[in-house]
Amino acid sequence: MKALRLYLWLVLIQVRSQMQYRVGFLLETLSVALGSIISFVTLALVLQKFEGIAGWSLGEVAFLFALVELSFGLMDMIFSGFDPDYFAAHTRQGTLDQYLLRPVSLTLQIFGSQFILRRLGRIFQGTLILVYAVQLVNIEWTVGKILYLPLVIAGMVLFFGGLFMLGATITFWTVERIEAVNILTYGGTELMSYPMTIYQDWMRRFFTYIVPAIFLNYYPSLYFLDRPDPFNMPFVVRFIAPVVGLGVFLAAYVFWRFGVRYYQSTGS
């Protein structure tokens, strides 16, 4: 309870200091939202020309795209403190010490150390496209689907959050952030925005067995859109998104704890 209150307190501090420059904040949020809407409009125009991708209609691809956008935006806000681009500064300047001097979990303090509110722009944009997609596709909503949707989003937040945490932890060794991890995170969002059938087999296998991204957005979407599975996996894999997300997050968390211990034994 105390941890939760402290977390909310720390986030509130972040929010308040970002709101001090209200006009700047609004403009930035708006430009972020506009930026990704434009990229979606481009995609939509192309899709209309070709009448979909790999048998997926515009609305169906928009659904995939929107779900990733929304989840990644949420994650980018909640996990701001672990964003490797930002976290690398901690290891470079040794500012982690001030957190380690407080009798509170380091992880909680990093979560509370940054909360970038302008990510709302991306969340807003994702929601907008999601609503648009649902209109286009005419999804048959069942109780199961309604209950599962937030779990899928949570799964993706945990998955991308885990990747952020992984990238942050690596800076304990490298000091500088590593581009390869960014390729995974940002490349992952791109990849997950399209039906998996458009990729080559080796790539799909990589994102099935090495980085299990396929289960987070693609398979749940097959369920929401009532589409058949071209890869003949068990039906149940449409429902494992939250478990996979949690698994990736927990693995990243264990690695993070290990990294912190390494940092304490070597840091200067």
Q: Which of 236, 184, 186 is nearest to 215 (CA)?
A: 236
Question: CA angle 11-118-63, nearest 5°?
Answer: 110
Query: Is position 98 an interface residue for other proteins (rule: CB under 8 A)?
Result: yes
Query: Is position 128 an interface residue for other proteins (rule: CB under 8 A)?
Result: no
The structure tokens 């407080």 sit at 102
Query: Is position 180 an interface residue for other proteins (rule: CB under 8 A)?
Result: no
Q: Is 149 exposed, middle or buried (0-12, 13-18, 19+ CB in 10 A)?
A: middle
Q: Which residue in the set 25, 39, 52, 104 belongs to the binding site for other proteins (CB under 8 A)?
A: 104
Cβ at position 37, least distance to other proteins in Å: 31
Stretch that binds other proteins, among 5-13, 30-38, 55-63, 123-131 (CB under 8 A): 5-13
Q: Which residue in the set 31, 42, 142, 264 belongs to the binding site for other proteins (CB under 8 A)?
A: 264
In the numeric block, which tokens belong to residue 120?
Answer: 């709302």
Closer residue to other proteins (CB): 103 or 228: 103
Cβ at position 107, least distance to other proteins in Å: 12
Query: Is position 13 an interface residue for other proteins (rule: CB under 8 A)?
Result: yes
Stretch that binds other proteins, among 3-11, 37-45, 164-172, 234-242 (CB under 8 A): 3-11
Closer residue to other proteins (CB): 104 or 136: 104
In the numeric block, which tokens belong to residue 211?
Answer: 């980085």
Q: How many helices and strands (H and E) does the chain possess?
A: 12, 0
In the numeric block, which tokens belong to residue 118?
Answer: 């302008």
Cross-strand partners of 56: 53
Query: Is position 21 an interface residue for other proteins (rule: CB under 8 A)?
Result: no
Q: Which residue in the set 8, 45, 102, 142 belongs to the binding site for other proteins (CB under 8 A)?
A: 102
Query: Is position 197 an interface residue for other proteins (rule: CB under 8 A)?
Result: no
Query: Is position 16 an interface residue for other proteins (rule: CB under 8 A)?
Result: yes
User: CA 196 to CA 203: how far, in whole Å?
Assistant: 9
User: CA 223 to CA 229: how far, in whole Å?
Assistant: 9
Query: Is position 31 an interface residue for other proteins (rule: CB under 8 A)?
Result: no
Question: CA angle 175-249-11, nearest 5°?
Answer: 75
Query: Which spans of this chain sit near other proteins (rule: CB under 8 A)?
Result: 5-6, 9, 13, 16-17, 20, 95, 97-98, 100-105, 261, 264-268
